[in-house]
Amino acid sequence: MVLWVTAAGSGRAAELSHVWVDEFSEAERAMLVRWTEEAAAGVEALVGSFPMDVEVHYHRRDGAREPVPWANTRRGRVQGVHFHVDPGFPPSAFRRDWTAPHEFAHLVLPYVGRQHAWFAEGFASFMQYRVMTAMGVLSEEAAAARLRGRLARAARDYDYPDRPFTDAAARLRAQGRYPVMYWGGAAYFLQVDEALRSRGSDLIAVLRAYTACCRRSRARLEDLIAELDGLSGGSVFSAALTRFRSEPGFPAVPAAGEAAGRD
Ligand SMILES: [Zn+2]
């Protein structure tokens, strides 16, 4: 694929710049830089180099119950990720945590606005275990099993059988029921991936082309969908969006896991 050659030819991985918001020792900084650079490289191994530099901000959260109790992306002129971390956890605990793969995956697509949070979160959730597989942290089987488990739980917890998912998503967010919104959104990307595979392509191939040619900081969801349809030479993305906006109940999950576990 021509676009892939362009991406490979450009050669260089995105530059991460590290911003220490709170105080960290030299050893802690070295450990945290290795952690975020490995996660960013895991995303780039799948979709190619980010066409922009990324600022990584580190906030200290001593005494937390997990290595990364909070994180979020900032999608301004500079694309950034803020990590709130407890550096008391060992490097292995950071590597096994899904947060950094999830946050860096967000940066593959432009910011499409708060009202489409289900789309952005669904995408990062769909990607996170694949990135962990690319990092060598999860086997393909383990990644597929986790994905299946999250989707099954979200489907069980979805209690808007009469509403299309995009309609329910805003309520789920308002109620703080994030896992249902995130994993319902992930089903969109499973559906798209499955449909692309039946045409001899897959979602990662389209993302690779998108990263190489078209990535921007912000986009209207409809414009992004049209762009992805264009790159894939069909209407898989817009057709899935139409289903998400019209079909009531939790989104169908095609062969959950099998599709996600491949490649
Ligand atoms: Zn997220």
Could you read off the pLDDT of 132-151 as tens digits, one per residue? 999 999 999 999 999 999 99
Residue 33 is predicted with a pLDDT of 98
178-192 pLDDT per residue, tens: 999 999 999 999 999
Reference 69, options 79, 81, 61, 58; nearest CA is: 61
Instruction: Please identify, among 65, 87, 106, the residue that sits at the C-terminal boundary of a domain.
Output: 106
Question: Do 254 and 128 share a domain, yes or no?
Answer: yes
Q: In sequence order, which ranges of 90-235 are alpha helices (DSSP H)?
A: 91-96, 99-106, 117-134, 140-157, 165-174, 178-197, 203-213, 221-232
Residue 81 has pLDDT above 90, yes or no: yes
Expressed in angstroms and rounded, the spacing between residue 80 Cα and the centre of ligand 1 is: 13
Residue 259 has pLDDT above 60, yes or no: no
φ, ψ dihedrals at 43, nearest 5°: -65, -45
Question: Do 231 and 250 share a domain, yes or no?
Answer: yes
Expressed in angstroms and rounded, the spacing between residue 72 Cα and the centre of ligand 1 is: 7
Residue 7 is predicted with a pLDDT of 33
Residue 263 is predicted with a pLDDT of 40
Instruction: Please identify, among 57, 85, 106, the residue that sits at the C-terminal boundary of a domain.
Output: 106
Reference 210, options 135, 110, 103, 74; nearest CA is: 110
Expressed in angstroms and rounded, the spacing between residue 125 Cα and the centre of ligand 1 is: 7
Rounded (to 5) percent helix, strand, coil in the chain: 60, 10, 30
Question: Do 119 and 208 share a domain, yes or no?
Answer: yes
Question: Do 180 and 246 share a domain, yes or no?
Answer: yes
Residue 75 is predicted with a pLDDT of 87
- Residue 36: other Cβ atoms inside 10 A: 21
Question: Do 240 and 139 share a domain, yes or no?
Answer: yes
Expressed in angstroms and rounded, the spacing between residue 212 Cα and the centre of ligand 1 is: 23
Q: How far is Cα 35 from Cα 100, in angstroms, rounded to an integer?
A: 8
Residue 176 is predicted with a pLDDT of 92
Question: Do 102 and 129 share a domain, yes or no?
Answer: no
Q: How far is Cα 127 from Cα 240, in angstroms, rounded to an integer?
A: 18
Q: How far is Cα 253 from Cα 250, in angstroms, rounded to an integer?
A: 9
Question: Do 77 and 132 share a domain, yes or no?
Answer: no
Q: How far is Cα 3 from Cα 242, in angstroms, rounded to an integer?
A: 28
Determine contact, residues 193/203, Cβ cutoff 8 Å: yes
Determine contact, residues 83/36, Cβ cutoff 8 Å: yes
Q: How far is Cα 75 from Cα 248, in angstroms, rounded to an integer?
A: 32
Confidence grade of residue 8 (pLDDT, cut at 50, 70, 90):
very low
Residue 65 has pLDDT above 50, yes or no: yes
Q: How far is Cα 174 from Cα 59, in angstroms, rounded to an integer?
A: 26
Residue 4 is predicted with a pLDDT of 34
Q: How many domains does the chain have?
A: 2
The CATH number given to whatever domain includes residue 203 is 1.10.390.10
Residue 193 has pLDDT above 90, yes or no: yes
Expressed in angstroms and rounded, the spacing between residue 37 Cα and the centre of ligand 1 is: 18
- Mean pLDDT confidence for 20-38: 98
Expressed in angstroms and rounded, the spacing between residue 9 Cα and the centre of ligand 1 is: 30
16-27 pLDDT per residue, tens: 999 999 999 999
Determine contact, residues 36/196, Cβ cutoff 8 Å: no
207-229 pLDDT per residue, tens: 999 999 998 788 999 999 999 99
Residue 128 has pLDDT above 70, yes or no: yes
Question: Do 76 and 23 share a domain, yes or no?
Answer: yes
- Mean pLDDT confidence for 121-126: 98
- Residue 83: other Cβ atoms inside 10 A: 24
- Mean pLDDT confidence for 5-15: 50
Locus of tokens 């694929």:
1
Q: Which domain holds residue 6?
A: 2-106
Question: Do 100 and 118 share a domain, yes or no?
Answer: no
Reference 21, options 55, 63, 57, 66; nearest CA is: 57
Question: Do 39 and 122 share a domain, yes or no?
Answer: no
Instruction: Please identify, among 106, 136, 157, the residue that sits at the C-terminal boundary of a domain.
Output: 106
Q: How far is Cα 240 from Cα 118, in angstroms, rounded to an integer?
A: 14
Residue 12 is predicted with a pLDDT of 56
- Mean pLDDT confidence for 49-62: 94
Average pLDDT of the residues of the chain: 91
Three-state DSSP class for 179?
Answer: helix
Question: Do 86 and 175 share a domain, yes or no?
Answer: no
Expressed in angstroms and rounded, the spacing between residue 24 Cα and the centre of ligand 1 is: 25
Question: Do 59 and 100 share a domain, yes or no?
Answer: yes
